[in-house]
A and B are shown apart, each in its own frame.
Chain A
Amino acid sequence: MRDVAVVGFAQRQMPQFDGSPTCVELLVPVFKELYEQTGWTRKDVGFWCSGSSDYLAGRSFSFVQAVDAIGVIPPVNESHVEMDLAWAMYEAWIKIQTGEVDTALVYAFGKSSAGVLRRTLALQLEPYTMTPLWPDTVSLAGLQARAGIDAGLWDERAMAEVANRSLTDAEKNEYAIRKGGSSVEELLARPMYADPLRKHDCSPVTDGVAAIVLAAGDKAREVRERPAWLTGIAHNVDPMGMGRDLTRSPSAQRAGAALDLDGVEVAELHAPFSHQELILRRELGLGDDVAINPSGGALASNPMFSGGGIRVGEAAKKIWSGEADKVLAHATSGPALQQNLVCTLEGTL
């Protein structure tokens, strides 16, 4: 296997972006930031891969138009996934492993606010027996949260503790769109929204873009003194239906079990709902000594198609800065933690 590291990361997040769903306007400055971080020009990028979906904002072929932000003369080596940035990164990692390229820039964009996000996402469900009922994302998460409460695996207090810690940590994150912790008591005193979920248990609708740069071997060492080496990456998927045991996430467990998680100091978990962090900690076997989501996590902001990849970027920053030697990043997709990607990043090989 080739040694591949995360060497660049940039993001933009906002409650409501008033521009085009192609988000070229946001991607151009993000790419510029990455050229500055790496010292590269676009011609130094061997492979490009994006994550987005036209359903999100109703603009057809938005991923083709987003390519304008790259500039394609001379032509570029480019691909797209209708998945989160973290899966675009996985494709780029494979591409580098093949030896065809040494570097990659992956990006994702989404204007969730253009439609009703929790409704739009019903289109990712099983189309015969689920989509016609339009089960919204919040409802499906609510069914999962209740299942765990009824089983005695967590309670509203444990969920509020996750939210309070996330909103407190988010105060230090300039990109977080919801921030400001108070106390578990104060959060529990707030009204129920989608019983058993309060609004702070649900990630806020977020528009935004994010991008990650990967490089192999010496190319990575040229960019950073301390590249964040991708020492493990795996992803798995559970069945679509809601008939499974919703209190567990076998796909997250299996992805984590494929990696060496010993010594992880920080974990950035993509948990768009507070109880999902509790499921993930259990499935990944993360102890109390692991710092969870110091960025504030997805409860502070969660741009569709970037939210998972942002976890990778935030985790990588801990390696670059020397704050940690080994970190974990996780991304999810689909309803109720159906699909999960886990990777480890380390400062030394």
Chain B
Amino acid sequence: MSRTLQAPVTVAFDYTRSTGPVIGRFFSGLRDGVVVGGRTSAGDVVVPPLEFDPVTHEATTDFVEVSSVGTVTSWTWVPEPVKAQPFDRPFAFALVTLDGADVPMLHALDVASPEDVSTGMRVRVRWAPERIGAITDIECFEPLAPGEAEAQPLVEVRASASLETKEDDVTGVITTVSLDYNYAASPEESLFYRGLNEGRIMGQVCPTCQKVYVPPRSACPADGTPTAEEVELSQTGTITTFCIVNVPFLGQKITPPYVSAYVLLDGADIAVLHLILGVPADEVRMGMRVKAVWKPKDEWAYSLENIDHFAPTGDPDADFDTYKQHL
């Protein structure tokens, strides 16, 4: 048996961001198939445009269109691409100074091997088939064909007047983030979940203050001592506090109204949060005695959900003094 329980977990979320006028102008250009840079107070054309001038700190308002052809100023090979990079096969990341710009921009370069890329090589933007106003509208850079470099005319940098803000400018962008982890429980959490998989509720005792923690923690949060001694808890306890859930929400598994309660198991010093069933919601009360009701054994896993809910025992309520320290 491994020391700790481990499982793969994916954390995913979409970031929705407003672009502001400068990045919005840049993304609008990409959507329309042109690369837009911003001119700084020093006269340099920067791609992507800087939102604020590095010297005067004024907002960038002087936009210029630059070529979609440029020169590689640095590159690195990506032998083992990671998820969501522009390619899932080996490729290069490159810094490319587009004709008409003064500083390089970062993007992928589609070449088959490191032998096919060199600093100084001429490349062009390969546009994505569908463009939405995002950096990924540039699918990648690709090498110019032999002889093509000379044939490609330098675009004349257009005056800013031709690049005025338009009504359909991009104002927002959504970036999807999805992170894969191998998630480990602590040795103490592993004890807890292994216990649940056997129908037991395990805790640990702090050797300093004798408090019993369930689930057990790596150290007593009160005094920082590791909690080594294991203890099996009673499956009966007292409701210390509760709330009646009336509001529906995304992913809700139980139809409201239902009761979510802190249950202080007999012998424990910290309550566990769980569901109360087997009693009308409006009859649940502080001090009510409840017991764990387990799911059928063939549904058990390393989960607190093995306990389906807590239900009233029918015993008289606990005296307030027995749990007032745990509120």
B9 to chain A minimum Cβ distance, whole angstroms, is 6
B100-118 CB mask vs A (1 if < 8 Å, else 0) is 0001111110000010000
B129-157 CB mask vs A (1 if < 8 Å, else 0) is 00000111000000000000000000000
Nearest chain A residue, comparing its CB with the CB of B105:
A243
Contact between B222 and A72, CB atoms less than 8 A apart? yes
Q: How far is the CA of A94 from the CA of B217 in the complex (A)?
A: 33
Instruction: Enumerate chain B residues within 8 angstroms of A348, measured Cβ to Cβ.
Output: none
Contact between B218 and A22, CB atoms less than 8 A apart? yes
Of the candidates A55, A67, A130, A195, the one whose C-beta lies within 8 Å of that of B76 is A195
Contact between A132 and B135, CB atoms less than 8 A apart? yes
Q: A18-B184, A24-B186, A55-B179 are in contact. Are A127 and B223 (CB under 8 A)?
A: no
Q: Does A58 contact B (CB under 8 A)?
A: yes
In this complex, the interface size class of chain A, counting residues with CB under 8 Å from chain B, is 35 or more
Q: How far is the CA of A195 from the CA of B111 in the complex (A)?
A: 14
Which of A42, A111, A135, A197 gathers most chain B CB within 10 Å? A135
Q: A42-B224, A57-B181, A69-B218 are in contact. Are A193 and B79 (CB under 8 A)?
A: yes
Nearest chain A residue, comparing its CB with the CB of B227:
A68
Q: How far is the CA of A131 from the CA of B86 in the complex (A)?
A: 11
Contact between B184 and A19, CB atoms less than 8 A apart? yes
Instruction: Enumerate chain A residues within 8 angstroms of B15, measured Cβ to Cβ.
Output: 127
Q: A71-B225, A73-B222, A134-B82 are in contact. Are A143 and B93 (CB under 8 A)?
A: yes
B residues 17-74 touching A (CB-CB < 8 Å): 17, 19, 23, 26-27, 46-48, 50, 54, 73-74
Contact between A58 and B9, CB atoms less than 8 A apart? yes
Q: Does B226 contact A (CB under 8 A)?
A: yes
Nearest chain B residue, comparing its CB with the CB of A23:
B218
Of the candidates A18, A71, A119, A134, the one whose C-beta lies within 8 Å of that of B4 is A18
Tally chain B residues at the interface, Cβ within 8 Å: 66
A57-87 CB mask vs B (1 if < 8 Å, else 0) is 1110000010111111100000000000000
Q: How far is the CA of A288 from the CA of B76 in the complex (A)?
A: 30
B202-231 CB mask vs A (1 if < 8 Å, else 0) is 000000000000000111111111100000
Q: Does B276 contact A (CB under 8 A)?
A: no
Q: How far is the CA of A174 from the CA of B187 in the complex (A)?
A: 25
Which of B119, B136, B182 gathers most chain A CB within 10 Å? B182
Q: Does A21 contact B (CB under 8 A)?
A: yes
Q: How far is the CA of A128 from the CA of B175 in the complex (A)?
A: 8
Contact between B82 and A118, CB atoms less than 8 A apart? yes
Nearest chain B residue, comparing its CB with the CB of A193:
B79
Contact between A242 and B82, CB atoms less than 8 A apart? no
B8 to chain A minimum Cβ distance, whole angstroms, is 10
Of the candidates B4, B50, B106, the one whose C-beta lies within 8 Å of that of A130 is B106
Nearest chain A residue, comparing its CB with the CB of B48:
A129
Contact between B224 and A28, CB atoms less than 8 A apart? yes
Q: Does A272 contact B (CB under 8 A)?
A: no
A87-130 CB mask vs B (1 if < 8 Å, else 0) is 00000000000000000000000010111101110010001111
Q: A58-B11, A71-B222 are in contact. Are A128 and B76 (CB under 8 A)?
A: no
Contact between A59 and B183, CB atoms less than 8 A apart? yes
Q: Does A239 contact B (CB under 8 A)?
A: yes
Of the candidates A42, A138, A143, the one whose C-beta lies within 8 Å of that of B74 is A143
Contact between A135 and B93, CB atoms less than 8 A apart? yes
Instruction: Enumerate chain A residues within 8 angstroms of B221, measured Cβ to Cβ.
Output: 67-68, 71-72
Q: How far is the CA of A82 from the CA of B23 in the complex (A)?
A: 26
Instruction: Enumerate chain A residues within 8 angstroms of B19, measured Cβ to Cβ.
Output: 128
Nearest chain A residue, comparing its CB with the CB of B220:
A71
Instruction: Enumerate chain A residues within 8 angstroms of B76, measured Cβ to Cβ.
Output: 138-143, 145-146, 194-197
Instruction: Enumerate chain B residues within 8 angstroms of A136, measured Cβ to Cβ.
Output: 78, 82, 85
Q: Does A133 contact B (CB under 8 A)?
A: yes
Q: Does A150 contact B (CB under 8 A)?
A: yes
Q: Does A192 contact B (CB under 8 A)?
A: yes
Q: A128-B173, A243-B46 are in contact. Are A119 and B83 (CB under 8 A)?
A: yes
Q: Does B3 contact A (CB under 8 A)?
A: yes
Which 4 A-B residue pairings sit nearest by Cβ, starting from the closest? A142-B76, A71-B224, A20-B186, A24-B218
| Residues of B bordering A, CB below 8 Å | 2-4, 6, 9, 11, 15, 17, 19, 23, 26-27, 46-48, 50, 54, 73-79, 82-86, 93-95, 103-108, 114, 119, 134-136, 173, 175, 177, 179-187, 189, 217-226
- Interchain residue pairs with CB less than 8 A apart (26): A19-B184, A20-B185, A24-B186, A24-B219, A28-B226, A58-B11, A65-B217, A71-B224, A73-B223, A115-B181, A119-B83, A127-B17, A128-B27, A128-B48, A128-B175, A132-B134, A133-B85, A133-B86, A136-B82, A142-B77, A142-B93, A143-B75, A143-B76, A143-B93, A143-B94, A150-B119
Known A19-B3, A131-B175, A133-B108; further 20 A-B contacts with Cβ < 8 A: A19-B218, A28-B226, A31-B224, A67-B221, A68-B220, A71-B220, A114-B184, A115-B180, A115-B182, A120-B179, A128-B17, A128-B27, A128-B135, A135-B106, A136-B82, A142-B77, A142-B93, A143-B75, A147-B74, A239-B54
